[in-house]
Amino acid sequence: MLLKDKVVIITGASKGLGVSMAEVCAAEGAKVVLAARSIEQLKEVENRITTKGGVAYSVQCDVSKLDDLQMLVDKTVAKFGAIHGLVNNAGVNYVKAFLDTTENDWERVIGVDLKGSFFLTQLCAREMVKQTPKGGSIVQIASVHTYASLPGAAPYDAAKHGMVGFSKAVAVELAKEKVRVNVLSPGLCRTEIWNDIVAAAPSEKECIAFWNANIPAERLIEPEEIANATVFLLSDLSTSLTGSNIIADLGMTSQLISKEPYGSKVIDGDR
Ligand SMILES: NC(=O)c1ccc[n+]([C@@H]2O[C@H](COP(=O)([O-])OP(=O)(O)OC[C@H]3O[C@@H](n4cnc5c(N)ncnc54)[C@H](O)[C@@H]3O)[C@@H](O)[C@H]2O)c1
């Protein structure tokens, strides 16, 4: 078991990638603390984990509120006595033209995706440096948007780039304290976001064909694949990694353009 008895907080554990992370971490022996705004949804995840013999504890928490973050950390320490891992996974997506973006839009996206992860990193790191033995692993869930962008994503991209920036600073500052901080940047995953994308397309078939042209592996990432990469970063298998931004996108950002359409398989430039 890669995370035996490690106490790991996972935000946004009520839906999507966070649920899978919670289930896989618990299966690897972690005591998982599930955080999100809906306690009902968290309890469902908690019940599924405990039914399989895992250890899970739900805390209702809005990550954009500093009092909630402090309460999440206090409850975790009171319940389990230490914090060994944190996954800042809670996030809101955003698609709206830059020219129409308002201060409210900015504050909502930055509040959850950047401010929440920044201050929860700080609160957990304070525990990690003072507990015995000291140290821990913090994983920020950013996005392929930290490598390249799409129209309508300015606040989201600002937040996700910000996660990379502050994580490098904290990684450098706390390396000697044995606190590691890494970013995991997923490509397109099969969560509710995929349903939203399909709903906006003329047809599901057309939508799949488009994305297959833009993803070399020609498929979506399953939530469990991101959960497995998260376990690696939380575990002692990754002790040489801190300050990294690992891209998990099935090749999407390595591909220069969508698939070449004219069939020019061999071009002989020696004329
Ligand atoms: N799904 C993808 O294709 C994809 C790709 C790249 C990055 N990501 C990132 O992965 C993370 C998870 O994405 P997902 O697809 O599972 O999203 P999702 O919408 O399915 O789940 C998001 C989770 O965050 C929680 N959350 C949102 N606002 C919150 C708040 N204020 N306080 C506490 N919890 C809050 C939600 O309740 C939910 O549990 C996000 O940070 C997202 O930006 C997702």
> 16 C-alpha vs ligand 1 centroid, how far in Å?
7
Banded model confidence at residue 202, pLDDT cuts 50, 70, 90: very high
Whether pLDDT at 186 is above 90: yes
Lowest mean pLDDT, pick from 69-78, 114-123, 150-159, 260-269: 260-269
Ligand 1 mutation pick, 37, 58, 161, max ligand atoms within 8 A of CB: 37
Q: How confident is the model at residue 160 (pLDDT cuts 50, 70, 90)?
A: very high
- Given 57, 94, 147, 156, which residue is catalytic? 156
The rounded Å distance from CA 18 to ligand 1 centre is: 7
Pocket of ligand 1, beta carbon within 6 A: 11-12, 14-18, 36-37, 61-64, 89-92, 112, 141, 143, 186, 188-189, 191-193
What pLDDT shows up at residue 59?
A: 98
Mutate to test the pocket of ligand 1, among 41, 92, 163 (most ligand atoms within 8 A of CB): 92
| Residue bearing the CA closest to ligand 1, atom 43 | 91
The Å distance, Cα 12 to ligand 1 centre, comes to 6
pLDDT score, position 265 = 72
Q: How far is the CA of 262 from the centre of ligand 1 (A)?
A: 38
Which tops the pLDDT comparison, 262 or 115?
115
Instruction: State percent of the chain over pLDDT 70.
Output: 100
**Which pLDDT does position 269 carry in this prediction?**
77
Predicted structure pTM score: 0.97
Tell me: pLDDT of 156 over 90. Answer: yes
pLDDT score at 103:
98
Across the chain, mean pLDDT equals 96
3-class secondary structure for the chain?
CCCCCCEEEEECCCCHHHHHHHHHHHHCCCEEEEEECCHHHHHHHHHHHHHCCCEEEEEECCCCCHHHHHHHHHHHHHHHCCCCEEEECCCCCCCCCHHHCCHHHHHHHHHHHHHHHHHHHHHHHHHHHHCCCCCEEEEEECCHHHCCCCCCCHHHHHHHHHHHHHHHHHHHHHHHHCEEEEEEEECCECCHHHHHHHHHCCCHHHHHHHHHHHCCCCCCECHHHHHHHHHHHHCHHHCCCCCCEEEECCCHHHCCCCCCCCCCCCCCCCC
Q: Whose CA is nearest to atom 41 of ligand 1?
A: 91
Write down the pLDDT at residue 113.
97
Go through the domains of the chain in sequence order and give each one's CATH number.
Answer: 7-189+222-249 (3.40.50.720)
Check pLDDT > 90 for residue 268: no
pLDDT of amino acid 71: 98
Give the pLDDT of residue 262: 79
pLDDT single digits (tens) 204-260: 999 999 999 999 999 999 999 999 999 999 999 999 999 999 999 999 999 998 887
Give catalytic status of residue 156 as yes or no: yes
Question: If you average pLDDT over residues 166-193, what whole number do you get?
Answer: 97
User: Which residue's C-alpha comes closest to atom 32 of ligand 1?
Assistant: 62
Q: What is the pLDDT of residue 214?
A: 95
